[in-house]
Structure 1
Amino acid sequence: MRKYKTFGIALLVLVLLTACGTKKKDNGGDANNDGKDLPVLRVAMMPFINSLPTEYIIENGLDVKNGFKIESTMFSTGAPMNEAVAADLWDVGSMGAAAVTGVANYDMMIIGEVLESLDGQGIFAKPDHPAAKVKGMNPSFPNVYGDKDSVKGSTILLPIGTAQHFTVLKWLEKIGLKQEDVNIVNMETVQAYQALKADQADMASLNVPTFFDAVNDEMVQLGNLADLGTRYVDMIVANPKAVEGKEEIIQKYINLVMEANAEINKDKEKAADLMMEFLKKNGVEQSRESVVGDLERVNFFEKDDWKDRELGLFAKELGEFYIGQGQIDASLMEKFETAIDPKFTK
């Protein structure tokens, strides 16, 4: 197994983790109401598809039309967003796997869900890596690559506490390994893929759009959530202080998210236009082709979806999985009984 020096990577990671965006955006609304006297809802956002419904609300002035004003703050991933809720810097937001650590470590609440997907999260290696030559070791998951011998001791790059981290843990479980059997290095997705291409690691766990870059570059996908049998959900999370003090505004926000989701599902081409503008505003370069592909792989939850849907099942699955992997203490699972609040989706 190849070995790598990681002290340079670690320094880069330290810089990246402290560099999450904090640019705020106030929605001024339409010409008849600039929203200056309206109550504010502080919404945490990321330059990903799970923030698209909020962007739709802002761009169409739906918050001001409904009696409140969104003040948004941009974060690079869920990990710094979790730290910011501990400092009471936002009221509501959307995230994936990082919601589990947010609930367990920062008393964050789960009050809704934005979307679900089966693809777009995967672990990649170069074609010449030994793991890329072993397929179907676990007969229950025939499309998964790798085994103990080819993966143990590998250096895997990913942003810790995110969907990519969860994907790697699920993959390792399927091939009979645990996190301590590999060397996981904390790194943002784009930099992780660049490091993989530069032979500074064995593998990288990627999400879109970098996921599509790896596919186009003919990297070998060792496993993704579709192969691992998991339907991935991005959740709406909340600061408990806001749930207590801004319940009426949060209900309006949840209603508008479902309204925006219906519009996004109805016209994916128009949604792609909005997503491209959203990414451009936040300094993210992504092709329209990958944006359209991203939209096609997900379903945004609408109002009618909540007639038969139970909130928080994916979060509980994540929590139980992390406990089984030793990532969080078993006693913290009790928090999920009170942290999942379905009143807003009902």
Structure 2
Amino acid sequence: MRKKFVQLAAVFTAACMMLCACGTNNNETSDSEQGKDTSGDTVIRMATMTTGFPLPMHHANKTGVFDDLGLNVEEEFFDNGPTINEAIASGDIDIAGVGGMPSVSGAISNNSKVIAWMEDDESSVQIYARNDSDIVSAGKGKNENYPNIYGTADNWKGKSVVCAMGTSSHYTLLAVLETLGLTQEDIELINMEGVSGAAAFLAGTGDLYVGFNPQWSEFYSKPDEYTCVATCADTDKKLNTVLIASEEFCENHPDLLVKFLEGMLKVQNDFYDDAKYYYESMYEWQNTFGECSEELAQYTVDLQVMRSLQERRALFEEKNGSSEMQDTLLSIADFMIDNNVIEEEDKQKIIEDKFVDSSYLFEAIDNLNAE
């Protein structure tokens, strides 16, 4: 079991230290980076992000659950889904937790497969403004169809927004703008990844910041200075996090994928059965990368609710040729088409390629139920 910390850029260093602690990757090439360890066993190169939803994967690796299943898992940390997709494309990552939008773009560019649901993500992607913003002073309820979103179209129009393009944060921003009758052309997008973007916003860059937990933790903890003015949950759009695997790994190591899922599902089920254990694990996890209060850890647990094995299976069971999981991701694809992020033929391609593959999940759940 090894860890490598990659892609955690340090911008506005002093402010970043307040938000998130991270390591750097060295330039040495090990046997495991070629997909084999020194004994010749296959290494599963797992990508996670420093946010709440990958906790079950990380915890299974840290506590030896994967080891007990005979798996050799190497954990690498990334800023966001697009950088993970790049690593999959270059052959450096086998399996990863990503948001809905990167899972669609990864299926288009890499033929990667969605093999499991992680958690719902609508409430954990949040948009913050400083309290002196006219969006905050306008308050909620200006749009009767979306009463929890602060401000009006006039308040939002022309604002500079710090947000990582191609991520669930970007999806959330576009969804909120749509409720206001606006598009990305109506705002100034400052494209920065979550951690450095949060540090930049803290230092005064931009009028708004969009990020996922715990990138916005500094703003959440200072309600006298910052206000959450919208989340994806305040729109009518669905958003979730999923587990994806590279096409090559699916083809060459289906047995390892099933075992990996058994380990991750075991941890998820333990969290589902024991809320205190879930909270304690989240608190420890979030304090690995920065300072996390007990309140924030509990808030994260409340946002990212675990589901039972039966509920997870139901998301992937097909009815009339499609599953709830596929329908949700295709609705994200439709939204990406409407916002000129992808083309209609891209959507048709991933449907034809059967980008949602339930076979590994179903086998893993059957194995766990048989124990």
Q: Normalized against structure 2, the TM-score is what? A: 0.79
Contact 2:52 2:286 in 1 (8 A): no
Instruction: Quote the Cα distance in structure 2 between the aligned partners of 1:223 and 1:167.
Output: 9
Contact 1:137 1:175 in 2 (8 A): no
Contact 2:51 2:212 in 1 (8 A): no
Contact 1:159 1:165 in 2 (8 A): yes
2:293 equivalent to 1:287: yes
Instruction: Quote the Cα distance in structure 1 between the aligned partners of 2:45 and 2:84.
Output: 12
Helix, strand or coil at the partner of 1:285: coil
Give the corresponding residue for 1:188. 193
Give the corresponding residue for 2:333. 319
- Structure 1 residues 313 and 20, CA gap change in structure 2 (3 angstroms): farther
The amino acid of 2:235's aligned partner reads: L
Instruction: Give the 5 Å matches for 1:53-202.
Output: 53-96=56-99, 97-134=101-138, 135-202=140-207
Task: Using the TM superposition, name which of 89-98 and 48-57 deviates more.
Answer: 48-57
- Kindly state the Cα deviation for residue 25 of structure 1 after the two structures are TM-superposed: 12
2:283 equivalent to 1:269: no
- Kindly state the Cα deviation for residue 158 of structure 1 after the two structures are TM-superposed: 1.2
Task: Using the TM superposition, name which of 40-49 and 60-69 deviates more.
Answer: 60-69
Instruction: Give the 5 Å matches for 1:246-257.
Output: 246-257=253-264
- Kindly state the Cα deviation for residue 124 of structure 1 after the two structures are TM-superposed: 1.4
The amino acid of 2:273's aligned partner reads: K
Instruction: Quote the Cα distance in structure 2 between the aligned partners of 1:26 and 1:277.
Output: 30
Q: How many percent of aligned residue pairs carry the same amino acid?
A: 22
Contact 1:104 1:335 in 2 (8 A): yes
Contact 1:269 1:292 in 2 (8 A): no
Give the corresponding residue for 1:340. 356
RMSD: 2.9
- Kindly state the Cα deviation for residue 194 of structure 1 after the two structures are TM-superposed: 3.6
Instruction: Quote the Cα distance in structure 2 between the aligned partners of 1:55 and 1:290.
Output: 19
Aligned length: 325
Q: Which 4+ residue blocks in structure 1 deviate beyond 6 angstroms?
A: 23-27
2:300 equivalent to 1:297: no
Structure 1 gap ranges (5+): 1-10, 28-33
Structure 2 gap ranges (5+): 1-9, 17-21, 317-324, 363-371
